[in-house]
């Protein structure tokens, strides 16, 4: 039965039975957790909703909650598209997600430690050395170096999807500089401002405690001998796509936001230039990629880094969060080995599923990929933001041949996965002035510190706004939703 009382907002809601709908079950009945919310939205007229939607958009614009899209011609600044219908995750479901992402983050941390120390997992023949040595993010300068508390991936963003079987699968582990958490908080604020009444009917975990937990994590990895650490956030600058987030995090943690030129290294200690002289800096939450951190150690032409920073880090006088070289595990080819990695270091079975992955570097996999591109998603191993992804069933014959050619030029650079059907969620579509099914994913945020772990009870639900589109990245025209995690 299709809901009849939603004739306005849900007038063109065409439930595709082959997709997993977060709100409606197979029989098109509203799922229990959504029932109350569904009833509340039902009381609104379409005009009221359009009005609310416009207000929310204006609010985002006025607050400068924007992001940059890079393309070949120019960089464009866009408002982050926000959908007023939240996603709800009930307590039991969340428990699985939380345990699952924590397990992955712990295992990845142990893996990175091992890679930069004894390399036992490679010597055991479980992960090929070639995969590590060919990774652009493998920093040999980290060999034998012990970060404070043994933590590398202090901040992780794990991307999950729900497949048509109703189970969660991990798509990616982002452990370089994952972004998006500021949008989680602003989505919540925007929804509270627009529809505060709906919050009375649900008992939801807060998401605004992220910054205080992040600050605690930063302070927990202070260098030895420091009592009260000075922490800063370093940004590449105002032209970076995530600058809004950098400034948001610094502001809400109550710490300084700096650029490379604001810091100076003297005798292997890092100082911040202030109007009252130099202030020693102990912990740096860096939102600059490894290669640009220090022109004397990495890329010579980096103008956004701090000369001498790596030497100060190596001496243990400053902590960098996340640790340099962490990206070695943020590689889609390493992702394939996650079940083995979890088993090897933790002796546990993975809680969350992995999507089966074909490595183009393996001859048999390569053959399969080349023969079955039309049924696969081909991804470059080291790109973020959804760039370079080819979805096989959307390609013309000519395009398939072009993809094959690109893969064959450098097979190590590509992996392929079966086309997963992301779950769909009712999303307001402006052009149709009604709700429609759109594919969604979920980015969770996990923090690891010395004797402290934290998973943000919420996350960034990203929506592919184009009908049928599976790529949810904001840089590719995706939007987002507030994500509610219910209390038990």
Partner 1 sequence: MYNYTIKYSCVNTYENPVFESFWQYIVTPQNNSTQELSSGVFSVSNDAVIEKSINGYNFETARIHTKKPFESLTFEAVFKLTKTKDNPLKIDPKYKIEDGYKALKELDFQVDYEAFLNTTELTTLPKEQVSLFDFDTSKSILDNLKRLNNWVHKYIVFKAGETTTETLLETVIEKKKGLSPDFTHLLCAIARVNKIPARYVSGYLHQGDGLLGDSQMCAWVEVLVPNLGWIGLDPVNNLLTDHNYIKVAHGRDYKDCEPLKQLLFSYGEKTSKCVVEVTYEQ
Judged by the rule CB under 8 A, the positions of this chain that interact with partner 1 are 119, 122-123, 125, 129, 132-134, 139-143, 264-268, 295-297, 300, 307-308, 310-311, 314-315
Closest CA to 329 of 146, 188, 164, 178: 178
- Least CB distance to partner 1 at residue 18 (A): 46
Distance, CA of 91 to CA of 96 (rounded, Å): 9
**Residue 281 or 377: which CB sits closer to partner 1?**
281
β-partners of residue 442 are 160, 461
DSSP string, 388-419: T-EEGGG--HHHHHHHHHHHHH-GGGEEEEE-
Strand 263-266 relative to strand 82-89, pairing: unpaired
Does a cis peptide bond (omega within 30 degrees of 0) precede residue 322? yes
- Least CB distance to partner 1 at residue 311 (A): 4
Closest CA to 257 of 272, 270, 268, 269: 272
- Least CB distance to partner 1 at residue 436 (A): 50
- Least CB distance to partner 1 at residue 121 (A): 10
**Residue 80 or 345: which CB sits closer to partner 1?**
345
Closest CA to 341 of 145, 98, 115, 99: 115
- Least CB distance to partner 1 at residue 379 (A): 24
**Residue 207 or 312: which CB sits closer to partner 1?**
312
Closest CA to 19 of 423, 419, 425, 438: 423
Distances (CA, A) of 163 to 349, 354, 359, 436: 20, 11, 22, 19
Per DSSP, helices labelled H in 315-439 are 332-335, 338-346, 363-372, 397-409
**Residue 309 or 465: which CB sits closer to partner 1?**
309
- Least CB distance to partner 1 at residue 259 (A): 15
DSSP string, 137-180: T--GGGTT---GGG-S-SEEEEEEEE-TTS-EEEEEEE-SS---
**Residue 68 or 134: which CB sits closer to partner 1?**
134
- Least CB distance to partner 1 at residue 275 (A): 17
Burial class (CB in 10 A: 0-12, 13-18, 19+), 50: middle
Tokens 């948001």 -> residue: 248
**Residue 155 or 312: which CB sits closer to partner 1?**
312
**Residue 99 or 117: which CB sits closer to partner 1?**
117
- Least CB distance to partner 1 at residue 316 (A): 12
**Residue 52 or 311: which CB sits closer to partner 1?**
311
**Residue 39 or 266: which CB sits closer to partner 1?**
266
β-partners of residue 169 are 161, 353
**Residue 46 or 408: which CB sits closer to partner 1?**
408
Distance, CA of 251 to CA of 206 (rounded, Å): 19
- Least CB distance to partner 1 at residue 283 (A): 20
Distance, CA of 122 to CA of 115 (rounded, Å): 8
**Residue 34 or 310: which CB sits closer to partner 1?**
310
- Least CB distance to partner 1 at residue 295 (A): 5
Half-sphere exposure of 45 toward its Cβ, with a 13 Å CA cutoff? Answer: 3
- Least CB distance to partner 1 at residue 380 (A): 20
Cβ atoms of 333 and 412 within 8 Å: the answer is: yes
């Amino acid at each position: 039965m299709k809901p009849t009382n939603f004739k306005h907002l849900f007038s063109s809601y065409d439930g595709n039975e082959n997709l997993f709908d977060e709100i409606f079950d197979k029989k098109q009945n509203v799922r229990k957790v959504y029932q109350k919310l569904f009833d509340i939205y039902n009381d609104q007229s379409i005009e009221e909703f359009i009005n609310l939607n416009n207000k929310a958009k204006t609010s985002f614009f006025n607050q400068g909650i924007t992001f940059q899209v890079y393309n070949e011609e120019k960089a464009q600044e866009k408002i982050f598209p926000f959908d007023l219908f939240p996603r709800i995750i009930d307590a039991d479901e969340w428990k699985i997600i939380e345990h699952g992402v924590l397990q992955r983050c712990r295992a990845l941390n142990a893996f990175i430690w091992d890679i930069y120390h004894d390399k036992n997992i490679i010597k055991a023949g479980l992960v090929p050395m070639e995969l590590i040595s060919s990774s652009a993010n493998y920093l040999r300068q980290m060999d034998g170096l012990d970060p404070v508390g043994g933590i590398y991936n202090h901040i992780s963003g794990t991307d999950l999807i729900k497949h048509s079987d109703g189970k969660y699968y991990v798509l990616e582990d982002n452990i370089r500089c994952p972004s998006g958490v500021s949008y989680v908080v602003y989505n919540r604020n925007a929804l509270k401002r627009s529809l505060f009444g709906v919050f009375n009917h649900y008992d939801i975990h807060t998401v605004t405690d992220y910054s205080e937990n992040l600050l605690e994590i930063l302070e927990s990895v202070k260098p030895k001998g420091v009592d009260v650490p000075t922490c800063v956030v370093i940004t590449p600058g105002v032209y970076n796509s995530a600058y809004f987030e950098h400034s948001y995090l610094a502001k809400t943690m109550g710490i300084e936001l700096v650029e490379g030129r604001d810091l100076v290294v003297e005798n292997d200690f890092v100082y911040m230039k202030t109007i009252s002289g130099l202030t020693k800096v102990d912990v740096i939450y860096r939102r600059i990629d490894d290669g640009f951190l220090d022109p004397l150690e990495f890329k010579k032409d980096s103008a956004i880094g701090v000369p001498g920073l790596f030497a100060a880090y190596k001496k243990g006088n400053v902590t960098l969060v996340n640790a340099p070289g962490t990206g070695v595990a943020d590689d889609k080819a390493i992702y394939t080995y996650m079940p083995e990695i979890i088993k090897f270091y933790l002796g546990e079975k993975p809680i969350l599923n992995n999507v089966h992955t074909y490595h183009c570097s393996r001859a048999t996999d390569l053959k399969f990929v080349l023969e079955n591109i039309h049924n696969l998603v081909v991804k470059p191993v080291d790109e973020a933001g959804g760039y370079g992804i080819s979805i096989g069933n959307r390609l013309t014959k000519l395009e398939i041949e072009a993809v094959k050619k690109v893969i064959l030029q450098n097979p190590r650079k590509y992996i392929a996965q079966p086309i997963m059907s992301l779950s769909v969620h009712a999303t307001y579509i402006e052009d149709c002035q009604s709700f429609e099914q759109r594919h969604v994913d979920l980015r969770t945020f996990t923090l690891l510190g010395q004797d402290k772990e934290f998973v943000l009870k919420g996350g960034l639900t990203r929506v592919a706004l184009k009908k049928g589109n599976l790529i949810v990245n904001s840089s590719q025209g995706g939007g987002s939703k507030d994500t509610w995690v219910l209390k038990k």
